[in-house]
Amino acid sequence: MRAQDSATPSAAIAVAGPSATAHPATAAPGAGPSTATGTTRAASGPPPGPPAGTASPSPPGSSSGSSADRSGTVLAGLGVVAFSLTFPATAWGLESFGPWSLVALRSVLAALIAGGVLLAARVPLPARRHWGGLAVVGGGTVVGFPLLTTLALQTSTTSHAAVVVGLLPLTTAVLGSLRTGERPSRLFWVAALAGAAVVIAFTVQQSGGALTTGDLYLFGALLVCAAGYTEGGRLARVMPGWQVIGWALVLCLPLAVAGSLVALPLEPVRLNTHGVLGLVWVAAGSAFLGLYVWYRGMAAIGVARASQLQLAQPLLTLGWSFLLLGEELSVAAPVAAVAVLVCIAATQRAGRRAGARSRTVRSGGESRPVRS
């Protein structure tokens, strides 16, 4: 009887202790049934926490939660800066390559970079249940968006093409709400719609209000990219963000190689400095590094909030177009920039409160989203 009495508290301590998983309790000789049960519980360790590569939920107002929130916002913002260079870099790449060749080579180079990193890190293959989501990420962000926007830039300026980015944050937030169950507040949606309206009005005014033949490509790119962002943000909650984009790129490698073999003989290649630099950036910067920090930030602050940071992307793209391509910049740009920054601040403020409440619910053993 004494063996049982002493074994039960020991097992309870083993379950609560920090080293229960690494050092399970050992049953004392002659212990009764409660000792074996306690040993089993100790060996099983504490209840499972968040998946590897994701941040542990923190109570609202805690320093760790605030730190994760800030770092997620910074990472997503860095992704936006990387994406803002995509259109100017694509315009440079088109000086040396045809549209199909540029997209195919971009995907091949990015996949080789990602594959090398995955091999060096000895990352195991993703679970079978994740391959469908990775295919959506690859189809939307690796193949669909680059191809459709590259085709559009043959007839559109980068300023006009920025209209697709003006609608992308809102579309991503809508799809993210449907796919991941996020429920932002009404204030969030009001600010998101206002920001989208400002960006659309500015970019249409910038292009003289005329629609080009590339608009169908741009709106198609909007839909497939929003789907890829949403699915990537969801996967980044259960696996590291760099692995999400890494495996998506590797998954698209056979298609990219086949596209390169077909397109390169058919389209002229005129190598110059701009063309090579543009290809390198869209492959290493936009397709790998940019998506890596973007998905990591999305996993930290949520798809809806991260998407609204992209409201600044069209204005950043216009700035790069002015500096790198010599395109004219409207005097309305500063006014639009201030309005967009106000809308971004409102969406982040509204989303931060909802995210804190959602983390509290998840830490209590539930995973349903909370409406603020």
Position 179 scores a pLDDT of 77
Q: Has residue 64 got a pLDDT over 80? A: no
Confidence grade of residue 243 (pLDDT, cut at 50, 70, 90): very high
pLDDT in tens, 253-272: 999 999 999 999 999 999 99
pLDDT at 207 (0 to 100): 64
Q: Is the pLDDT of residue 47 over 70?
A: no
Confidence at 90, pLDDT banded by 50, 70, 90 = very high
Give the 3-state secondary structure of residue 28. Answer: coil
Rounded Cα distance between 200 and 161, Å, is 11
Vertex 297 angle, CA 193 and 178, to 5°: 50
Q: Tell me which range, 30-34, 195-199, 281-285, 325-329, is most confidently predicted by mean pLDDT.
A: 281-285
Identify the band that residue 83 occupies on the pLDDT scale cut at 50, 70 and 90. very high
pLDDT band at residue 50 using 50, 70 and 90 as cut-offs: very low
Burial of 17 (0-12, 13-18, 19+ CB in 10 A): middle
CA distance 217 to 184: 30
Q: Look at residue 331 and tell me whether its pLDDT is greater than 60.
A: yes
What is the predicted pLDDT for the residue at 172? 80
Residue for token digits 């409660």? 34
CA-CA distance, 130 to 248, in Å (whole number)? Answer: 10
CB atoms near residue 226 (< 10 Å)? 25
Q: What does the pLDDT read at residue 314?
A: 82
What pTM was estimated for this model as a whole?
0.68
CA-wise closest residue to 358 among 126, 182, 144, 112: 182
Rounded to 5°, the CA angle 283-325-285 comes to 20
Query: What gap in Å lies between CA 99 and CA 273, rounded to an integer?
Result: 17
Longest dimension (CA), the chain: 89
Contact (Cβ atoms closer than 8 angstroms) between residue 183 and residue 354: yes
Tokens 């490698």 sit on residue: 253
- The predicted pLDDT at position 163 comes to 67
Residue 41: burial class (beta carbons within 10 Å; 0-12, 13-18, 19+): middle
282 or 6, which is more confident: 282
**Residue-level pLDDT at 120:** 95
State yes or no: pLDDT of 27 exceeds 50.
Answer: no
Quick one: pLDDT band at residue 15, thresholds 50, 70, 90? very low
Answer whether residue 359 shows pLDDT above 80.
no
Q: Which of 87, 108, 158 lies closest to 283 in space, CA to CA? A: 108
Q: Which two three-digit tokens encode residue 35?
A: 């000792």
The residues, ordered by sequence, that sit 6+ positions from 31 with a Cβ below 8 Å of its Cβ are 3, 4, 7
pLDDT of residue 369: 41
254: Cβ–Cβ under 8 A, 6 or more apart, which residues?
none
The region that residue 125 occupies, defined by phi over 0 for left and psi between -120 and 50 for alpha, beta otherwise, is: beta
| Rounded (to 5) percent helix, strand, coil in the chain | 75, 0, 25
Condensed to tens digits (0 to 9), the pLDDT of residues 295-328 reads 888 888 887 788 778 878 888 888 898 899 888 7
Question: What residues contact 188, with CB distance under 8 A and at least 6 apart?
Answer: 173, 304, 305, 308, 346, 347, 350, 351, 354
Residue 325 Cα distances to 95, 139, 159, angstroms: 12, 29, 11
| pLDDT average, residue stretch 109-127 | 94
Lowest mean pLDDT among 145-159, 175-189, 235-249, 285-299: 175-189
Lowest mean pLDDT among 24-28, 140-144, 189-193: 24-28
Separation CA 318–CA 337 (nearest Å): 11
pLDDT at 105: 96
